[in-house]
Structure 1
């Protein structure tokens, strides 16, 4: 299965602001629903307006009900407003289908079609497709703009001026705000659980050593461990997260055989925290990329919060965990790296 990475950059955040405005227009003018700054209202209830841009070779958009999230493929960055609106109408139809019928109906079944018909949306909205040829062309244009902006910093005045003018011409043509030095931050949801745990916290702490920034994203009845970073570090950290999710349980079984007195939830949780503490003794290198991510968090997660959690502690179990953590090896060849602080956010 091709991983769906969510992307953030100054250019993408500007695009998301535009997308939010277009969605608000649809909700008010076509659906006759009251809309606030970040929510829309149906009767006495209100629902979030949360959008992301993602990278995927075939999926154009999605509505994820547990996070109340609408995703838009990055290919739409250069599309005309009406094409973007058609995709938003399609995903808002999924949103309304979920509100009225729950998550267990057919994605494009009669309930979905009735929603589209209710608001007078055409068959193009129900399909919400972009041709492969157009998608490829859009990517080529983005790549060309990036190259031109790079040439715009050339020490040769004539070359820099010509590249700047050509880039400005393309940006004006497609009505896109493009920022220099705008490499996107990649976001990937690596673990999905029903609730938080000491084990998940410990895994997040270890992932900091792999130059990704872990975030706990709370949805409706679900918790995602998300990681932000560059593509290579994301790929490594995704493997590490799944490896640790399984390996922590094996280490706990091993520890109980060695120390039969270790029993119960408090001991198990303390052991997991100890593993992270022991592994982190290997060192926490710094990263300019992670500092940049930290500065962008408020824009990426508007409802970001942080909190301290109190818990019961078993020093004997934690000590055993630290011992196991110091000896923990995550397959040779994986480079050791770092991160900052795991944070909780809530979108629903």
Structure 2
């Protein structure tokens, strides 16, 4: 339950509030076209100081209400999820005209499931409970992977490489077996990247790597920053809880590793100047991909072949019915080759946390 900030009502100036409501109307119209076939009629949008709920559809007054506390204190993913949730209520009420069910009855849940919408109204789409991700199996596997990644931080290169390969095999085996068993799974969504900054080629390369080899779906999405009245771009990742946790770790780890390797090797004779930084770091990500692809090829010889997750595909396309694909190119030069060479030596591991200190990211729970 939200603990409202005492100053939330004052934090939005009249201009920012008006800009936010315009953004909400734009988002409503877009979702109406893509997810509801344009069958909804726009209601009146209202920001309230309500503390007991995040959003509410008022049928009698045709009002869609959002909490100011939600707007000011929570990420845009959660704001958008609550908006979608209330739109689903409106659809059940005004389009389907269902009257004999509870507010979150079977029809409402089906409307949400068909459109990749969070039926719980608790913020970002996530598993309904610990039973998600094929029961507790996903959490057990994630705990084992955490332990292997801790071993992969060994100063002994040989031991570190073995631990990383075992973690890779464990991830692949778990996902292949769960997909083959057709076990019901729940999926969650998270955003990666700082929306205040421009996305870089390096981040794009990492996102592509996650989508290809870490059992998640990744897409660039626009978000809105109500505190400053501006838009930004982030990466949205979707998958089971265990896979999303792992993907978040890999994203942060590779960004930090690319920065570290650039600092260590920027005086390589193949690097001409500081302007080669992103080209070098893109090479690091490509080199790490080369390493994982080689490992995956070896694992395929043991019968572990990943053919995809059809349920995740459906969830992803329900959330994003219309997807545009774009190709980008990176300049291949000596700096890229140097980065690729360094990337092939990278060992994915869990960062060592400083005892008793909050400094530094905690990327995976230990």
Shorter-normalised TM range: 0.3 to 0.5
With structure 1 as the length reference, what TM-score do the two structures score? 0.45
